[in-house]
Structure 1
Amino acid sequence: MSIERTIMAFAGFMVLLSLVLTATVSHHFMWLTVFVGANLFQSAFTGFCPAAMVMKKLGLKSEAEIAKAK
């Protein structure tokens, strides 16, 4: 799985998790949803994504790197 697809899956999971936590634990978990959305929005314009940097260090490859290897 590429970094790009992993980021989408991770962001979707975090949004769903924060919604469940908001409904069951505290309404303050809504801020986690806000943070994830804001991070996705800014990364679309800047290309800076802390989660992608962590995933790269864990050994995941980008779609470009996977295509180049084929």
Structure 2
Amino acid sequence: MTIDRAVLMFAGFVTLAGITLAYLLNPWWILLSVLAGLNMIQAAFTGFCPAAILFKRLGLKPGSAFR
């Protein structure tokens, strides 16, 4: 698995977790999904993604978006 795919998988998981928690527990959990979306937008413009840095340190192979 490359860093790019791991970041996409993690972002999808965080988004779905936020929606699920908002539905089951408290509507304020929707902010988790909002933060994940905002992070994806800023990463598209800047190339900086904290999750990509973490996955790189864990030894995943670089992809074309995050090196």
* Corresponding residue of 1:34: 34
Alpha-carbon distance, 1:10 to partner: 0.6
Task: Name 2:24's counterpart in structure 1.
Answer: 24
Match of 1:67 in 2: none
Unaligned runs of at least 5 residues, structure 1: 65-70
- The one-letter code of the counterpart of 1:56 is K
Q: Write the deviation string for residues 37-58 of structure 1: whole angstroms up to 9, x where unpaired.
A: 0000000000000000011001
Unaligned 5+ segments in structure 2 are none
Q: State the distance in 2 between where 1:9 and 1:27 align.
A: 23
Inter-partner Cα distance in structure 1 for 2:2 and 2:56: 10
Q: What is the percentage of aligned positions where both structures have the same residue?
A: 44
Q: How many residues align?
A: 64
- Structure with the larger helix share: 1
TM-score, L = length of structure 1: 0.87
Distance in 2, matches of 1:55 and 1:6, equals: 7
Corresponding position of 1:9? 9
CA distance in 1, matches of 2:42, 2:36: 10
Deviation above 3 Å: which 4+ runs of structure 1?
none
Query: Which residue of 2 is the match for residue 68 of structure 1?
Result: none
TM-score, scaled to structure 2: 0.91
Q: RMSD in angstroms over aligned alpha carbons?
A: 0.8
